[in-house]
A and B are shown apart, each in its own frame.
Chain A
């Protein structure tokens, strides 16, 4: 037996894994458990100075949450964002990936870089630009629509339009990321599948429906999962664009959690919000994986 086949000395294992696992343990796993316990206390601004002021309150925070209309509003908004923004952004990513991947495409890498630019840029800067695009008086969007005889809309100030406006901005900013993963998936589909389909007279829609979609299924499952997890954590867009307004129409769960925890220092209550979010994401992930298993049988 050569040296590598035998097990490694524990000293080495400790040296290589210690720093990473130590950091992840202390700054991830322990805090998750701590947050769980905190959600059963009334930890607030007084407890911040002296932890002894925090008392165990059982499920009171969760109960308060269930009775709180603002929480339900935030929950509704977050689901709106996930269920409308998620599929929309995946669809746009897939379309862009198919356009780029087409054999007709010239200057492919240039287009790819341009489509990807919004992904890498700082959200706060993007928000500065988009707040202006959405400006009710001087914005580019209303100016463009004026040619179609559409009267100006106060995109971010109107309770009905605020969320769609944030969704469009989020799709614009994010679609490039999933597009890259879709391109990798598309390149793994054997070309001869399309060739034989064309010989049998399949039109482009049929090729998409019966070759591309099924062959991309594993990629799509992965992307859907990651997108749902990411979109449930909707925070920065409403934070910089609307502060959750107008009338809490863009208040998301994470923004609500942030406001309760770090603005009002109701940390016990805020931890309860975080855990409800965790449970929702957990259930959504489980449903996804279940659907995927059933689909593959």
Chain B
């Protein structure tokens, strides 16, 4: 009895989480205007894919989709390389001022990123990078959180492994490339998902630095669509499906790594 009640409770919360998504999916297949009815319909009267057609044929969705994939993919690769090198250095290299430097980075987490937006924008403008993908990739290439994740994980790698490699004549870079990186694979996957999803979902910064429609990522294109086609609810729903579906699939496949990352971030040193 208690067990049944418990699971009814769990299921109600699950439904609250799911219903908006299920309804989005269902509405995206409804004919135009069907959502504008009372009482609301939960299932399309006539199943249609016309809105997906419109998105791809008339509204250039495949271009935005490609933009999102390319930017998120590139941002992920850069972030993996840059943050793993720094994380390794903070975990395993020995040099003066290491602890102090790391503390400064941690303290900087309190500064809201919005403070930096105006000067970064001006800086990129001076460099002529506004309205290019570099304006997204370069400022985001290193992240304090990413360095922290890698460092925490690399700390658990025994020094003896590194020493053994050193005995065989490995340089610092070879140690990093051949010993550390392979051992850090789980946390690298975690960082990759975080970066990919973060870039995919990012809204404010791309909105500021990208001006040409051709260059839009999916969320910007969707927000733009929201302004122009505010009446076409079913079309908007189809656009939303195309924006969230890749990310949901990615999450479900790799959720183990994602959740591990949150737990590591939440555990104090």
Most chain A CB atoms below 10 A, which of B18, B142, B163 = B142
Please choose the segment from A15-23, A55-63, A194-202, A206-214 that sits at the chain B interface, where 4 or more of its residues have CB less than 8 A away: A15-23
Is A264 part of the binding interface, using a Cβ–Cβ cutoff of 8 Å?
Answer: no
CB–CB A28/B96 < 8 A: no
Q: Which parts of A264-297 form the interface with B (CB within 8 Å)?
A: 267, 270-271, 274-275, 277-278, 281-282, 285
Question: Considering the chains assembled together, what is the distance between the CA atoms of A218 and B113 in angstroms?
Answer: 25
Question: Considering the chains assembled together, what is the distance between the CA atoms of A123 and B201 in angstroms?
Answer: 7
CB–CB A123/B120 < 8 A: no
Q: Using A4-B159, A16-B85, A35-B115 as known contacts, say yes or no to A114 and B14 having CB atoms under 8 A apart.
A: yes
Is A235 part of the binding interface, using a Cβ–Cβ cutoff of 8 Å?
Answer: yes
CB–CB A8/B112 < 8 A: no
Chain B residues closer than 8 Å to A104, beta-carbon distance: 2-3, 6-7
B234 to A: closest C-beta gap in Å? 10
Residue of B nearest to A275 (CB): B115
Please choose the segment from A80-88, A129-137, A155-163 that sits at the chain B interface, where 4 or more of its residues have CB less than 8 A away: A129-137
Q: Chain B contact residues: over half helix, strand or loop, or mixed?
A: helix
Is B70 part of the binding interface, using a Cβ–Cβ cutoff of 8 Å?
Answer: no
Chain B residues closer than 8 Å to A26, beta-carbon distance: 123
CB–CB A19/B38 < 8 A: no
Residue of A nearest to B261 (CB): A180
Question: Considering the chains assembled together, what is the distance between the CA atoms of A228 and B58 in angstroms?
Answer: 43
Picked from A176, A180, A218, the residue with its CB within 8 Å of the CB of B263 is A180
Is B94 part of the binding interface, using a Cβ–Cβ cutoff of 8 Å?
Answer: yes
CB–CB B37/A123 < 8 A: no
Is B195 part of the binding interface, using a Cβ–Cβ cutoff of 8 Å?
Answer: no
Residue of A nearest to B265 (CB): A181
Is B184 part of the binding interface, using a Cβ–Cβ cutoff of 8 Å?
Answer: no
Question: Considering the chains assembled together, what is the distance between the CA atoms of A23 and B94 in angstroms?
Answer: 22
CB–CB B115/A274 < 8 A: yes
Question: Considering the chains assembled together, what is the distance between the CA atoms of A281 and B108 in angstroms?
Answer: 12
B200 to A: closest C-beta gap in Å? 7
CB–CB B93/A8 < 8 A: yes
Is B32 part of the binding interface, using a Cβ–Cβ cutoff of 8 Å?
Answer: no
Picked from B23, B83, B116, B172, the residue with its CB within 8 Å of the CB of A12 is B172
A91 to B: closest C-beta gap in Å? 13
Chain B residues closer than 8 Å to A24, beta-carbon distance: 105, 108, 142, 144
Chain B residues closer than 8 Å to A17, beta-carbon distance: 85-86, 89-90
Question: Considering the chains assembled together, what is the distance between the CA atoms of A288 and B267 in angstroms?
Answer: 18
Question: Considering the chains assembled together, what is the distance between the CA atoms of A26 and B129 in angstroms?
Answer: 15
Most chain A CB atoms below 10 A, which of B17, B89, B114, B118 = B118
CB–CB B6/A105 < 8 A: yes
Chain A residues closer than 8 Å to B86, beta-carbon distance: 16-17, 19-21
CB–CB A3/B139 < 8 A: no
CB–CB B266/A99 < 8 A: no
Question: Considering the chains assembled together, what is the distance between the CA atoms of A257 and B116 in angstroms?
Answer: 12
Residue of B nearest to A133 (CB): B20
Is A10 part of the binding interface, using a Cβ–Cβ cutoff of 8 Å?
Answer: yes
A124 to B: closest C-beta gap in Å? 4
Q: Which parts of B213-266 form the interface with A (CB within 8 Å)?
A: 218-219, 222-223, 226, 233, 236-237, 239-241, 243-244, 247-248, 251-252, 255, 258-259, 262-263, 265-266
Interface string of B153-195 (1 = CB under 8 A from A): 0000001001100110001110010000000000000000000
CB–CB A16/B95 < 8 A: no
CB–CB B108/A29 < 8 A: yes
A50 to B: closest C-beta gap in Å? 12
Interface string of A8-52 (1 = CB under 8 A from B): 111011011101110110111111101100100000000010000
Interface string of B2-45 (1 = CB under 8 A from A): 11001101100110111111011001000000011111100000
CB–CB A138/B16 < 8 A: no
Chain B residues closer than 8 Å to A261, beta-carbon distance: 117-118
Is A219 part of the binding interface, using a Cβ–Cβ cutoff of 8 Å?
Answer: yes
**Top 4 A-B residue pairs of the complex, sorted by shortest distance between their CB atoms:** A20-B86, A181-B266, A125-B240, A31-B119
27 A-B residue contacts at CB 8 Å? A3-B167, A4-B162, A17-B85, A21-B101, A32-B119, A35-B118, A99-B10, A100-B10, A105-B10, A111-B10, A116-B259, A117-B18, A117-B251, A120-B197, A120-B247, A122-B203, A122-B222, A123-B203, A129-B21, A132-B27, A143-B39, A236-B203, A240-B226, A262-B208, A277-B112, A277-B114, A278-B111
Q: A111-B10, A129-B20 are in contact. List 20 more A-B contacts (CB 8 A).
A: A2-B166, A9-B172, A17-B85, A24-B108, A28-B108, A48-B125, A105-B6, A111-B13, A113-B251, A122-B240, A124-B219, A128-B24, A129-B23, A130-B20, A132-B237, A133-B20, A138-B35, A138-B40, A180-B266, A233-B112
